Amino acid sequence: MSSAPTTLPNNNAAATAGGATPSPTFSPLYQQIKALITRSLQSGEWRPGELIPSEVELANRFKVSQGTVRKAIDELSAENLVVRRQGKGTFVATHHEARAQFRFLRLKPDVGEPLYPDNTIIDAKRLRAPADIARQLDIKTGDSVVFLKRMQSFDNAPTILEELWLPGTIFKGLSVERVLQYKGPMYALLETEFGTQMIRAVENIKAVVADQVTADLLQLPLNTPLLSVTRVSFTYGDKPVEVRRSYYVTNNHHYRNDLN
Amino acid sequence: MSSAPTTLPNNNAAATAGGATPSPTFSPLYQQIKALITRSLQSGEWRPGELIPSEVELANRFKVSQGTVRKAIDELSAENLVVRRQGKGTFVATHHEARAQFRFLRLKPDVGEPLYPDNTIIDAKRLRAPADIARQLDIKTGDSVVFLKRMQSFDNAPTILEELWLPGTIFKGLSVERVLQYKGPMYALLETEFGTQMIRAVENIKAVVADQVTADLLQLPLNTPLLSVTRVSFTYGDKPVEVRRSYYVTNNHHYRNDLN
DNA sequence: TAGTGGTCTAGACCACGCT
DNA sequence: GCGTGGTCTAGACCACTAG
């Protein structure tokens, strides 16, 4: 009573050039497709903001059904690597958008709508990575890093004071002058100038009190309580590409987090 | 060249008893199925920890394909209302598990693995809801609430001091004695005793310094910086059922958050 | 009107957990 | 061996966008 198989047996081909050995670790087809699409995103075959090929087109290219491509893109969409728009297509995510502006910023005003920050660069230079920064950036102590110190104000109230470290090798052409003149969101700059996309980040939060220097810059009394937020941002392949140490003033703002 | 339709036209039947009027707001079938399953969860037809009917069984019950049920359960699983286990079935989520223990707790030790807290109840009583609490619980000022104050210690170090407010009408039979003798996780108690499942929560975080009372209880110097975490927890239907105001000591711990 | 993502179906086989 | 969730396919129709 056996019926003729209408589907192919499970294999690991998926239209790759170099035939991969049939690994014992099983991986679903849609995961392989997802990896292939991710590689194209990473390589810049489709740039941020651009339209990627339609699902049918990708299905043809990879010799799989549309449903399999769909499931792959579903996950990429859930991870914010791409954005679906019904009737139009699927687009590569970009930090050059109003909505993306606040993607990683959890600090919200206690009352009213979020405002756009005014950025002021306090310091910008190249230096050798301290041990702790190097460890978090997965580089060697003493390697070149770009260092930035800046202030973000909302409605003319100094609210965020932060220091950023970026690996010098990745952002080789990032000049101090370029940073000083730039006013927009940092991740948009890194995206267009270096093709480095921030995909996800991890934040560690502690409570501290302001020392004299910090208090002066934030125009607060000494010992004012502040949120200390240390962020590590990652690009494709879970590669860390930014360490950011921020102080958040929470007198009129709060850090908001949704738990599911 | 028209082919015979193999699928039903879009309707809003979905095996409901009282025939709903075909509303102008279109809702996909799987969303309707999801709502039906959610209702069964809420009503207690399947209790926390229990196995729910298999996908095929639900498909038969609702007169839809397995794929549609699957997509509904996919979303419920993503929202942590149910847990899938391949080869075994789909289970109703419960707070009576080691993994669920830390589901809403973002405070992690700086080094080492998370430990289970020792809970000490400092105060437990019924009182009339203050205005701000009432507003957050969506009840009237002066309505009865259960008030709890407790301390959580990790490795004998006082780390979390918190106050909880629960609506008196929902947790009517919750006696002070019951709370004082109970040692396990709060949400597990509320789940088994009152059938109230905590589904999601929102946290607002600020930095503060310890006043004398707080400092004494936490065995810290006056003015030690602390995280002030205000949480509102919700059950089915986005109904708020808990307000929790906590102070986190971040000398050896940090609040961890993943950004996507 | 054509093209895209979104929904829905029916059926097959695979991986897993238990008996 | 059987039942469960997990993967994959092929094909149809619906909802939305734009030329």
Per-residue pLDDT, B7: 32
- Tens digit of pLDDT for each residue in B124-154? 999 999 999 999 999 999 999 999 999 999 9
Residue A207 has pLDDT above 80, yes or no: yes
Hey, which residues does B227 pair with through a beta bridge? B207, B248
Residue A45 has pLDDT above 60, yes or no: yes
Chain D positions with an atom below 7 A of a protein C-beta are 3-18
Separation in Å: C9 C1' and A61 CA: 25
Residue A134 has pLDDT above 70, yes or no: yes
Residue A236 has pLDDT above 50, yes or no: yes
Q: Are A225 and B209 in contact, with CB atoms under 8 Å apart?
A: yes
Token digits of residue B207: 């930095």
Residue A218 has pLDDT above 50, yes or no: yes
Per-residue pLDDT, A139: 97
| B201/B204 Cα distance (integer angstroms) | 10
State if pTM tops 0.95: no
Question: At B100, which amino acid appears?
Answer: A
- Tens digit of pLDDT for each residue in A115-131? 999 999 999 999 999 99
Separation in Å: D4 C1' and A26 CA: 19
- In chain B, residues 166-225 whose CB comes closer than 8 Å to chain A: 200-209, 223, 225
Q: Are B171 and B194 in contact, with CB atoms under 8 Å apart?
A: yes
Do B209 and A202 make contact, defined as CB atoms within 8 angstroms?
no
| B147/A260 Cα distance (integer angstroms) | 24
- Tens digit of pLDDT for each residue in B198-219? 999 999 999 999 999 999 999 9
| B136/B185 Cα distance (integer angstroms) | 23
DSSP string over B86-135? TTTEEEE--S-STGGGGSS--EEESSS---PPEEEEEEEEEEEPPHHHHH
Distance from CA of A17 to the nearest CA of B (A): 32
Residue A57 has pLDDT above 70, yes or no: yes
Determine which helix (DSSP H) or strand (DSSP E) holds B150, and give its type and residue range.
strand B144-154
Residues of A in Cβ contact (< 8 Å) with B205? 205, 227, 250, 254-257
SS3 string, B206-242, reads: EEEECCHHHHHHHCCCCCCEEEEEEEEEEEHHHEEEE
pLDDT band at residue B10 under the 50/70/90 scheme: very low
Distance from CA of A156 to the nearest CA of B (A): 20
- Tens digit of pLDDT for each residue in A238-258? 999 999 999 999 999 999 999
Token digits of residue B113: 């693995």
Residue B181 has pLDDT above 70, yes or no: yes
Residue B65 has pLDDT above 60, yes or no: yes
